[in-house]
Amino acid sequence: MIKGLQPFLFGSLFILLFLTITTTISFILMNNGLVYLIGGVLGSFGGGFFIYRFAKPISPLTSIVIVPIMFAGIFLSEYIDIKVTKIEFNRTPSSIKLDTSIKIFELIDYKILTKMISKYSFTRREKDRVFHKTVCTIPIVNSDWVINNQIDLFAVCEKDNCSSCFSENQKFGKIVKLETSDNFKSYIESVKNGAKKNSLNIKIDKLIFVELIEDIDQYAQKKRDSGIIIFLSLLFIWNFISIFSFKKGKENI
């Protein structure tokens, strides 16, 4: 009985261990690209060895099923980061500078220039798939801003309908960095398009991108819930697939 449960117990244990490791790595590095690389290698090769060594007769190839757990780790690390980060309150857009100590802030005396939204569309090829994507950026300025004043702060959006991303009710901002965004360079191109169209005063090396948030606590909870949902889903998928792998894989291990 215990031997029959061994593949499921050890596989589930590895999923939990993998989640802990990727959450820790993501929280320390704050670089999604590195987390994808480390998580992919660790999940595929480390998971394959772990399953081969301890979860027989499940096929080591089954470890591929649990590689996406690193996304749960990223979500949970973002949740932890928000919870431990000091929020800068009562900040005007012009007071937000390229300062690594500022991650999350509350805006006051600001306005969102909704008529100056700009877009940039691009195509990304990943293996045998082609993705078409559009990102949007919009200036956030002091309430007394005039047309010739320099603009450094821009909100970003990657949804099909960006109207919900840019609202006056969204008074919190979370800094978006190159290390944590796959589309950072596209944001810059979008700002360039908007600056040309609306004759905006910008300096490329001074640009600051933020994700606007209405309720920072609710935002953090969504990150936490997303991580938990992915974790539980992969745990279920692992055990479901393992039933068939267990039946068919004994002679191959």
pLDDT band at 1 (very low <50, low <70, confident <90, very high): very low
98 and 132 in a common domain? yes
180 and 144 in a common domain? yes
User: What is the spatial distance between Cα 213 and Cα 24, in angstroms, rounded to a whole number?
Assistant: 25
Which DSSP symbol is given to 65? G
232 and 208 in a common domain? no
247 and 195 in a common domain? no
Q: What is the pLDDT of residue 222?
A: 97
189 and 96 in a common domain? yes
Which DSSP symbol is given to 167? -
In this predicted model, what pLDDT tens digit does every residue of 202-225 receive, in sequence order?
Answer: 999 999 999 999 999 999 999 999
**Domain membership of residue 139 as a residue range:** 87-214
Helix (H, G, I), strand (E, B) or coil at 33: helix
Helix (H, G, I), strand (E, B) or coil at 18: helix
Segment 14-33 shows an average pLDDT of: 92
User: What is the spatial distance between Cα 23 and Cα 154, in angstroms, rounded to a whole number?
Assistant: 29
Q: Is the separation of the CB atoms in 194 and 137 below 8 Å?
A: yes
156 and 58 in a common domain? no
Q: What is the pLDDT of residue 122?
A: 86
200 and 172 in a common domain? yes
54 and 112 in a common domain? no
In this predicted model, what pLDDT tens digit does every residue of 79-103 receive, in sequence order?
Answer: 999 999 999 999 999 999 866 678 9
108 and 62 in a common domain? no
190 and 136 in a common domain? yes
245 and 169 in a common domain? no
- Write down the residue that tokens 């300062």 correspond to: 99
In this predicted model, what pLDDT tens digit does every residue of 134-143 receive, in sequence order?
Answer: 999 999 999 9
User: What DSSP string describes 205-233?
Assistant: GG-EEEEEES-HHHHHHHHHHHHHHHHHH
User: What is the spatial distance between Cα 169 and Cα 15, in angstroms, rounded to a whole number?
Assistant: 39
CB atoms < 10 A from the CB of 251, how many?
A: 6
Which DSSP symbol is given to 201? B
Tokens of 163: 């109207």
Helix (H, G, I), strand (E, B) or coil at 132: strand
Q: What is the pLDDT of residue 179?
A: 80
Phi, psi of 168 (to 5 degrees): -65, -20
Segment 225-242 shows an average pLDDT of: 91
- Paired with 102 in beta bridges are none
**Number of structural domains, the chain?**
2
What pTM value is reported for the model? 0.83
